Every structure is written in C-alpha cells, then in structure tokens.
Amino acid sequence: MILGAHRPDQVCIIHARRRTTVQLYDAVKNVIPDTRLRDVIYPARTSMIDSSEEIAKDVLAIGRINSVPTLLQVLCETTGMRFAAVARVTDCTWTACAVHDDINFGLVPGGQLDVSTTLCAEVRQSRTPIVIEEASSDPRYCNHHTPRLYKIESYVSVPIVLADGSYFGNLCAIDPAPAKVSDPRVVSMFNRFAELIAQNLENDAARNSAVSALLDERAASELREQFIAILGHDLRNPLAAVAMTGEVLLRRLTDPELVALASRIKTNARRMSALIDDVLDFARARLGGGIGIRMNEVHHLETALTAVVRELQDAQPARTITTDLQVPGRIICDIDRIQQLASNLLSNALTHGSADRPVTIKAIVESDELVLSVWNDGEPIPQNNIGKIFAPFWRRSTAANRHGLGLGLHICSQIVHAHKGTIGVTSSRERGTEFTVRLPSNATGA
C-alpha cells in the first residue's frame, strides 16, 4: 500500500494487510518522523449501513441549521479551543457536518476520519461526554492513541441523541494546547448545544416528511381527479348511444320478452348515467372547490320530488316508497340538485333497507327551513361508521348489496353544503335509519 506524507518527496510503501490505521500511522512515523495523521492516505472503511446518500443527506441537514456556525464559534470563544465540529458518527464512519477551524486541521463539511482513531467512537458506545483538559498529563488518556495521533491536549465530545433514542453523532472541540474545560458549566453548555442541534434535526426531518407527504398526496390527488374526469367524459357518448338504442327498441318491439330486455337496457343505462354524474360531480367538487348550484324560485317542489319517487318506484316495482310532501309556496333552491339529493338518499335507503318494509320520504317547511328526510328500516349503521358515511368512496362493508361507487352520500353532503344547509343521520335497530336535511328555504306564502 502506498502512503503519502505532507511533502511530495516523502512516499513509502507499507504492507497494509490486517493493520489498523493506528498501526499504519506508526509504521509511517518510523519512516517519516514528522508525518501527521491527516497526511496519511488509508483505505476507506466500507459499510452497507453508511451509504454516501445517507451521509450527504445528514451533512445537508446540519447545514440547514443556521445557528450551528454561531454555536461552534461560541464554544471556541468560551473555552479558548480553536477547533469545533458537529460530526455524524456511526459504528463505521466519522463525518464532519459543520466545522469551525482556527488551527488549520484541514477538515471541511463532508470530510471523514477513521472512526477507530477518534474518541467519538467511545462516546457513542457509552453515550456520555469525554472531557480532557491536558491529555499529556491525564492518567487515563496520556497513552491513548487519539491525542497522540492528532497531537491534541484539550478535548471535549458530547453525544447528539435524537428523541427516539437514535444516535446522530457528536458535538466536539479540540486544541493542541491545554484548556480549562472540566468546569460543569462548560460541559453543560456543550450538552445544551447538542440538545438544541438534535431538536433542530428532528424539526427538519418532520418538516421534510410533511412536505414529502404533501407532494405525494397532491400528485396522487391530481392523477385521481384527472382519471375520474376523463373516465366520466369518455363514457358519456357510448352510454348515450346505448340508452337511445333501448328507447328505440321499447317503441318498436312488441314481443314481451324483447320488450323486457329493452327495458332492462334502458334501466341499466340510466343507472350507469347516474354513476357517471356522481363521478363528474365529485371531480368538479374537488377541482372547483364544491358542487355548483343555480338558485331559483321553485313553486312546484312537491311535483319535482314526486317525479323522483315515481322514477325509483318504476325501477324497483317490488319495493314500496311512501311519501309525505307538504311544501306549499315557493322555495329558493336549485331544483335539479334537490332532485339529485332526494334520489341519492332514496336509492341509499332502497339499497340498505329491509326489502319487506317501505321507505319513507318527507318534506316540510319548518321555521324558514326546508326539512327533507328519508327513512328506512333494516340493519343499522354501526356507530363507529356514522362519521364516515359522507366521505367519498365510502361504502358499508356490512351491506349485502354494494352497488355504486360510494359517492352518493358524499355528493348529498356537497349539495347540502352548497345550499348552506346541514345533513345528519340517526340509526338504530329499534328506530331504523333516518337521514335529515335542513336547508334555508326563504319560503313565502302561496
């Protein structure tokens, strides 16, 4: 192995196999007496744990903490030591992340030392600070290889540990001259600064995680909404052709079996059209900030709701829908959206209610509010799901009949919100399930 000293003309060849960096250093010193450790080129320690990407990421994280240069300067000014650094330390690597260097030590952010030559490795193992005022006279460290290799007398190193217990590295300071650093207030200052650095690292990680999650969610949301919008529009034309075909067949056919088939085609096309309307409403609401409405004076709300009931009754002749509609006078609303609201609530009740019990729709004007309710008997909604039922794409997993996309009730809530109203639900085995909508009516007399 070729090792170079700090002068170009000083080069030696050492058999490096199975030698530590300290042994290599000693071998070079025998040949070149004034060699310093940082002049020695030793093989880099490779590790599957410390990828270059992870190391670079942590160096950048420390670099984003604006207070670190000031902290290092304060440490040096307070202790009289002339080199301070924040180091990322693992079992295999020692990497400088921030440096204050007034002794020409030669390290810069991203620079590395062999971790086995540092006292930081011992701090990592014990997770307690190491403080040396004068290494040459210190009983424990006078013969230690680290002060000897780096020609230092004073040394302080404290651990930087994150809140989850993970070890980031060390806050350390060194100097070739002795320094009075064993004062508890000095050590406490190092510890407080290390804690501050750890807190900033955690805040940086949390901020980056939040930004990443937001960008991922935004990208997924945009892709989903584009897909939904394109899907809805591309399905409209072929579906209109199918519905028209069913209508033409109903008018021209006389064979009962073929008439029934044509009727089924028309019914399914109508159901698919309703699904597409739900999908497009959802996409518009997400992209445009809500479902659009056109408010007008409506004088025939009872008639409009009766038409919705008749349409659903015709589609499911075996079911019974009872009505109690008492809406005299005029109502300010979007009549098409109110019909859609009633249709979605009735469809939901027919889907989840008992097949042998009627579904009931009521509409009255009460204290300047239009109150619309839909009731069905049957299996109640679990209480822990009550808060979820108006969320998009939510469907009752307990239901035997799981038609649709799970958008109907969500769109109901959006229509109600657009009318500045409220929607709620109560559900129990004894009293059944009832959805109640309250909308400002601005009603006047007939």
- Residue 154 forms part of a structural domain: yes
Q: Is pLDDT of 7 > 60? A: no
CA atoms within 13 A on the CB side of 193: 29
The stretch 312-331 carries a mean pLDDT of 89
User: Which stretches of 345-413 are assigned E, i.e. beta strand?
Assistant: 359-366, 369-376
Number of structural domains the chain divides into: 4
Task: Write the pLDDT tens digit of every residue in 149-181.
Answer: 999 999 999 999 999 999 999 999 999 999 999
> Which residue type is seen at 341?
L
Please report, for the domain that includes residue 181, its CATH number. 3.30.450.40
- Measure CA 230 to chain center: 26
pLDDT in tens, 324-346: 999 888 899 999 899 999 999 99
Q: Is residue 245 in a domain? A: yes
**For residue 288, what are the contacts with CB-CB under 8 A and spacing of at least 6?**
none
Q: What is the pLDDT of residues 178-192, one digit of tens each?
A: 999 999 999 999 999
Domain with residue 425: its CATH number is 3.30.565.10
How confident is the model over 116-148, as pLDDT tens digits?
A: 999 999 999 999 999 999 999 999 999 999 999
Same domain, 14 and 67: no
78 with 187, same domain?
yes
CA separation for the pair 129, 188 (Å, rounded): 10
Write down the pTM of the prediction.
0.47
Q: Answer whether residue 301 is part of any domain.
A: yes
Does some domain include residue 446? Answer: no
Q: Are residues 135 and 271 in the same domain?
A: no
Please give the pLDDT value at position 309: 93
Q: What pLDDT was estimated at residue 233?
A: 64
pLDDT at 21 over 50: no
pLDDT of residue 13: 35
Mean pLDDT, the chain, as a whole number?
83
Half-sphere exposure for 359 (CA within 13 Å, toward CB) = 28
8-22, 224-238, 247-261, 370-384: the lowest-pLDDT one: 8-22
Residue 201 shares a structural domain with residue 225: no
CA dist., res. 22 & res. 319, Å (int): 89
pLDDT in tens, 192-209: 999 999 999 999 888 888
- State which of 172, 187, 208 marks the end of a domain: 208
Are 138 and 63 members of one domain?
Answer: yes
Secondary structure tally for the chain: helices H, strands E: 10, 15
99: in domain: yes
Q: Do 22 and 35 have their domain in common?
A: yes
**Cβ partners under 8 Å of residue 379, min gap 6:** 352, 398, 399, 429
pLDDT, tens only, 389-427? 888 877 665 444 555 567 889 889 999 999 999 999 999
Residues 280 and 384 in one domain: no
Q: Is 440 exposed, middle or buried (0-12, 13-18, 19+ CB in 10 A)?
A: middle
Residue range 89-102: mean pLDDT, rounded? 95
Confidence of residue 20 (pLDDT cuts 50, 70, 90): very low
Domain end point (choices 208, 229, 247):
208
pLDDT score of 12:
40
**Of the residues 147, 178, 208, the one at which a domain ends:** 208
pLDDT of residue 44: 37
**Average pLDDT, stretch 300-311?**
91
pLDDT on residue 15: 37
Do 339 and 396 belong together in one domain? yes
Per DSSP, the three-state class of 179 is: coil
CA distance linking residue 44 with residue 256, whole number of Å: 87
Residues 77 and 5 in one domain: no
87 and 107 housed in the same domain: yes
263 & 151 share domain = no
* 72, 117, 216 from 84: Cα distances, Å: 6, 17, 39
* Residue 445 belongs to a domain: no
Please count the other Cβ atoms lying within 10 Å of the Cβ belonging to residue 267: 15
Residue 319 near residue 311, CB atoms below 8 Å: no
Lowest mean pLDDT among 34-43, 75-84, 268-277: 34-43
Confidence of residue 24 (pLDDT cuts 50, 70, 90): very low
What is the domain extent for residue 154? 47-208
Structure tokens at 434: 């009832």
Smallest Cα–Cα separation from 175: which of 71, 56, 79?
Answer: 79
pLDDT of residue 288: 61
Cα(20)–Cα(37) distance, rounded to whole angstroms?
13
Report if residue 358 sits inside a domain: yes
Is 231 or 62 the better-scoring residue by pLDDT? 62
What is the domain-level CATH number for residue 249?
1.10.287
Residue 203 shares a structural domain with residue 60 = yes
Confidence of residue 228 (pLDDT cuts 50, 70, 90): low
In percent, how much of the chain has pLDDT > 90?
53
407 belongs to a structural domain: yes
Question: Which of the pair, 46 or 33, is modelled with greater confidence?
Answer: 33
